[in-house]
Amino acid sequence: MGPVRLGLGVSPAHNGAMDRTDVVKWVAFYERLWRTPGTELLGELFVPDASYLPSPWARPVEGLEAITRFWDGERNGTDEQFTMSSDLVAVDADMAVVRVSVEYGASGSRPWRDLWVLRFAPDGRCSWFEEWPFSPDQPDGH
């Protein structure tokens, strides 16, 4: 498969190494797709055999078709109100770690802080997505 098509800017010539700009664009594209009706464009974000771990203790969601069903089940519609910000913690070759803050609802009544551990295929699409979500009302694991 060629480079990612929706402006992620990754070309096959980059040899699978992501840089900070590539990862920031990928995260922005992820958020845009979460807000976009349908899931037809997920193939531009994830490779066909991607694994998606919604939490460190969950079984991975395996493959693009399963990730599509997972997204459909997790979203409260594309008009869901939330704000999202992110900070790239680290990137090394095909791996990245991103700190994400999400405030759900008009008043931001459901805050989440996540760490995303990402592995990228040579074409810049994600092959492994591991999420470590935390909310204020969940036990902290101690």
Residue-wise pLDDT for 43-63, tens only, equals 999 999 999 999 988 999 999
Domain count, the chain: 1
Burial zone of 68 (CB within 10 Å; 0-12 exposed, 13-18 middle, 19+ buried) = middle
Asked if residue 124 belongs to a domain, the reply is yes
At 58 the three-state DSSP class reads: coil
Asked if residue 8 belongs to a domain, the reply is no
Residue-wise pLDDT for 11-22, tens only, equals 455 566 899 999
Q: Using CA atoms, how far apart are residues 20 and 91, in angstroms rounded to an integer?
A: 7
Domain that holds residue 69: 16-134
Residue-wise pLDDT for 68-95, tens only, equals 999 888 877 767 788 889 999 999 999 9
- CATH number of the domain encompassing residue 65: 3.10.450.50
- pLDDT for residue 111 is more than 90: no
What pTM was estimated for this model as a whole? 0.84
The CA-based dihedral angle spanning residues 129, 126, 95, 135, taken in that order and rounded to the nearest 10 degrees = -30
Asked if residue 9 belongs to a domain, the reply is no
Phi then psi dihedrals of residue 81, to 5 deg? -90, 125
- pLDDT for residue 2 is more than 80: no
- Under the banding of pLDDT at 50, 70 and 90, the label for residue 8 is low
